Amino acid sequence: MTLTEIKRVLEKRKYNLISTLENGREEIDLSRQHQIYGAIKEIQNILKTIDYHHEEEMRNNFNLELSQEQENTVLQKISLKFKKSIRTNIEE
C-alpha cells in the first residue's frame, strides 16, 4: 500500500468518525463520544505527520537538485578557466 493510499484510508476513516459523532450524538454515550473524538485527533496527528515527512522529502530532493546544479556550474567555471590557461600557454 502506498503512502497516498494510506492517507486516503485514514481521511475516509476520519470522515466516517466525524459523521458518526455528528449524526449519532444523542444515541452515543459520553464516554464513547470521547473515544471517537480521541480517535479523530489521533488520525489528524498521523495525517499531519505524513504531510510533514512528505514535504521534508520534497524539500530534500529540491535541495539535492539545487546542489547538483551548483556543482555543475562550478565545474563548468573551472573547466573554462583551465581551457583559457591552456590557450594562453599555447600562444606564448
pLDDT tens for each residue of 3-30: 889 999 999 999 999 999 999 888 899 9
Q: How confident is the model at residue 85 (pLDDT cuts 50, 70, 90)?
A: confident
Residue range(s) defining the domain that contains residue 46:
3-91
Q: What is the DSSP letter of 29?
A: -
Higher pLDDT, 25 or 62: 25
**pTM for this one?**
0.62
Report how many domains make up the chain. 1
**What is the rounded distance in angstroms from the CA atom of residue 31 to the CA atom of residue 38?**
11
**What is the rounded distance in angstroms from the CA atom of residue 38 to the CA atom of residue 36?**
5
